[in-house]
Structure 1
Amino acid sequence: MLEPGDRAGGRWLRELGARALVRRLLDGGPPLPGVSDKRWAGLCARAARADPGRDLDAAREAGMRFVCPGDAEWPAQLDDLGDARPTGLWVRGRAGLRLWALRSVALVGARACTEYGAHMAATLAAGLAERGWVVVSGGAYGVDGAAHRGALASGGATVAVLACGLDRPYPSGHARLIDRIAAQGLVVGELPPGDHPTPGRFIVRNRVIAALTRGTVVVEAAYRSGSLVTARAAQRLGRHTMGVPGPATSARSAGVHELLRGGAALVTDAAEVVELVGAIGELAPRRSGPVLPRDLLEPAARQVLAALPARGAPSAAEIARGARTAPDDAIARLYELRSLGYVERHGDGWKLTRQTMISVRADRDGC
């Protein structure tokens, strides 16, 4: 009877209870506080057409169940939505929604994503699934579909939150994918069997994705992307909000970059996501460049090596001045470096070997 996210209806449910609210709507008396006469008349007409028994029969026939607040399977974190909390969720799949939601991450982004966006979504989802996390998304084309497929391909768990009746999956081109998700994971939604999606329902649906999960990752999103609605809902709810950066010139990543400028965490792989949403001690590995042979030299030897110019063959005294050390110490270090193949002697002078010069140039070019 109530549209998803209807805060006035949610307040009535909290204050009156479901049975009393249904009686008021069916009686068609004076409107309850918070709505106009016109909207109240529309709600009463909708209540008169409602047939819960028919919906439940259709759901059972399609292998669905209805989960509402207070049920053992109800995810308590949805209560954070307050009066915008779903009145209940239709669920398709064998797994328990409450337990899966406790260790879940939302992966959302552009429908018209690039190959880079699809690759990052699938890779992140696979990495999260391999670490025992449930990947939640909206079942749409683009990033959503890539995230679901990445989790499924890794033998992991995934949940699709739809903005329509579960017996009418949208988009229709993802009907087989949604069937796979239902077989290996869960498909959930607020709308009863037979209901169709609308633009407004997609936007309102996103609050469920944000509330259901420990954090939301946006992979690609333009400035007006609906996935940013999910991210902002996650921020309001105190959930972790993350973004995967893209090319600075890409309009499809402009919304993500704005999100990052606003305080969202930058992530590039599943380990970095888990570091934020996981338990204490689940840290991502430290990032560093490759270890070069000269990195293993003692500091005094590295200092002398750094004092040798790319051209010419300075004397030991000149090298000592450049390394800020005594001539005797510089000579000792130069002979040590010669034995390791870093330098060679030319008369009274010293110079880098050809191999060392190539290595130094490559290192400088990579800086």
Structure 2
Amino acid sequence: MTAVGPQERLARAALTRVLEPGDEQGGRWLRTFGAAGLLDLFGSSAGARDTVRGQLAGATERRLDGYRARAARAVPERDLSAITAVGGRFVCPGDAEWPSQLDDLGPARPIGLWIRGRPDLRIWSLRSVAVVGARACTPYGAHMAASLSSGLAERGWVVTSGAAFGVDGAAHRGALAADGATVAVLACGVDVVYPPGHAELVGRIAEQGLVIGELPPGDHPTRSRFVLRNRVIAALTRGTVVVEAEYRSGSLVTARCAQRLGRFTMGVPGPATSGLSAGVHELLRGEGVLVTDAAEVVELVGDIGDLAPARRGPVLPRDLLDPVSARVLEALPARGAADGREIARVAGTTADETLGRLYELHSLGFVERHGDRWQLASRTTQETLARRGGA
């Protein structure tokens, strides 16, 4: 990996004020000319406009004027000082801390990332899972997000989300409650708290985890920036879990981006009648994988052998009987008693074998004897009725 020179770093910091996140055309120019070279082109005199447009394929005059105006106002030294003042840093491609999985975004790769928090982003991103979902989530959605995230944190996984109200906030809180690692990816400057109601939460994440974003200090979010932020969440993580999402939810944007990048895409099911789970269910009808807890998530995104425990209902005493004894027990009537010959006929066994099994079942408390007749013990009767769909 090539070390980033001071001039290139300064130019990339400036370009975070010039190019919008996810600008693929800008990303192609950046790859062609380098950050310093592209910034020089944007800063060219007005008289060189035609020459610059010839070099920047696809740049309209109006668009180029916009880039030039933004470049003229960019003061990267001030932005770098601002991030240092809040204990942060600016990381860009070529740095040791740069997560290489972001390169999967191609031309839409971030120019750089503004970061608050002490941990190393590259290391944390190696074992990271995104937990995203509805802002206006139900208590069920908040519970599932928090439970999943705390379980992931306890297993040594980093929980990544967007610090929004609803599922995002519950996911971060679940990880923090387990003293685990969590990353908040913002659609604004990392020194700007949005939503304002999450000031305390974002502060805790900055102290215990990482707060990151593509936009320079002081920049505020817009609708499009929220949508574009989701591609970073998807690219940084091994998989994305969606907890509650309507058909047009931004969380589904994250999930679809994860699918395009070859990441695991998972969904937590909800009631079939809930509009807030409709988007998740649509995801699960496609390539999404249904998950209900952290163990099932880790089984997908983890290493070989990280298997979720086998799931089964409770083991009843009669489940432990051998096949013949179970058949004899099933042959007894649900109500009333029967003699040994009748039971043998129904069970398809000999009278002697049936009698021997009945005595064994009696000693185990499954049946009662009344003279030559046998009947189910009271607790066995209830169990048999339940199994047969009786009252």
Aligned to 2:59: 35
Aligned to 2:125: 101
Distance between the aligned counterparts of 2:140 and 2:333, measured in 1?
43
Unaligned stretches of 5+ residues in structure 2: 1-17
Kindly state the Cα deviation for residue 58 of structure 1 after the two structures are TM-superposed. 1.1
Does the alignment pair 1:322 with 2:346? yes
Of the three residues 101, 107, 110, the one matched with 1:77 is 101
Does the alignment pair 1:56 with 2:73? no
Letter in 2 for 1:9: G
Whether the aligned pair in 1 keeps the contact of 2:335 and 2:381 (CA below 8 Å) is no
Of the three residues 303, 310, 324, the one matched with 1:300 is 324
Distance between the aligned counterparts of 1:323 and 1:46, measured in 2?
87
Kindly state the Cα deviation for residue 362 of structure 1 after the two structures are TM-superposed. 4.2
Aligned to 2:359: 335
Letter in 2 for 1:295: D
Distance between the aligned counterparts of 1:365 and 1:325, measured in 2?
26
Letter in 1 for 2:285: R
Distance between the aligned counterparts of 1:236 and 1:325, measured in 2?
61
Alignment partner of 1:17: what SS?
helix
Distance between the aligned counterparts of 1:361 and 1:108, measured in 2?
45
Aligned to 1:361: 385
Distance between the aligned counterparts of 1:8 and 1:48, measured in 2?
20
Does the alignment pair 1:45 with 2:69? yes
Kindly state the Cα deviation for residue 364 of structure 1 after the two structures are TM-superposed. 5.3
Alignment partner of 2:115: what SS?
strand
Letter in 2 for 1:250: S
Alignment partner of 1:279: what SS?
coil
Calculate percent identity across the aligned residue pairs: 70
Alignment partner of 2:338: what SS?
coil
Whether the aligned pair in 1 keeps the contact of 2:241 and 2:268 (CA below 8 Å) is yes
Of the three residues 31, 34, 39, the one matched with 1:22 is 39
Alignment partner of 1:286: what SS?
coil
Unaligned stretches of 5+ residues in structure 1: none
Whether the aligned pair in 1 keeps the contact of 2:116 and 2:210 (CA below 8 Å) is yes
Alignment partner of 1:95: what SS?
coil
Of the three residues 185, 189, 194, the one matched with 2:209 is 185
Aligned to 1:274: 298
Distance between the aligned counterparts of 1:309 and 1:84, measured in 2?
71
Does the alignment pair 1:68 with 2:85? no
Letter in 2 for 1:213: T
Does the alignment pair 1:210 with 2:227? no
Q: TM-score, with normalisation over the residues of structure 2?
A: 0.91
Aligned to 2:26: 9
Which shifted more, 297-306 or 236-245?
Answer: 297-306
Letter in 2 for 1:105: V
Assess, with a 3 A threshold, how the Cα gap between structure 1 residues 326 and 111 changes in structure 2: closer, same or farther: same
Which shifted more, 265-274 or 33-42?
Answer: 33-42
Letter in 2 for 1:51: V
Assess, with a 3 A threshold, how the Cα gap between structure 1 residues 365 and 129 changes in structure 2: closer, same or farther: farther
Report the RMSD for the aligned CA atoms in angstroms. 1.3
Distance between the aligned counterparts of 1:211 and 1:326, measured in 2?
68
Distance between the aligned counterparts of 2:181 and 2:269, measured in 1?
25
Whether the aligned pair in 1 keeps the contact of 2:156 and 2:180 (CA below 8 Å) is yes
Alignment partner of 1:216: what SS?
strand
Kindly state the Cα deviation for residue 157 of structure 1 after the two structures are TM-superposed. 0.4
Q: Deviations over 1:166-197 (max 9, x none)?
A: 11110011011101000000000000011100
Does the alignment pair 1:111 with 2:128? no
Aligned to 2:243: 219
Distance between the aligned counterparts of 1:231 and 1:279, measured in 2?
21
Kindly state the Cα deviation for residue 17 of structure 1 after the two structures are TM-superposed. 1.1
Of the three residues 155, 175, 180, the one matched with 1:151 is 175
Q: Deviations over 1:289-346 (max 9, x none)?
A: 1111111111211111112120232232222232222222111111111111111223
Q: Deviations over 1:221-242 (max 9, x none)?
A: 1111111100000011010000
Which shifted more, 100-109 or 343-352?
Answer: 343-352
Distance between the aligned counterparts of 2:336 and 2:58, measured in 1?
85
Which shifted more, 339-348 or 97-106?
Answer: 339-348
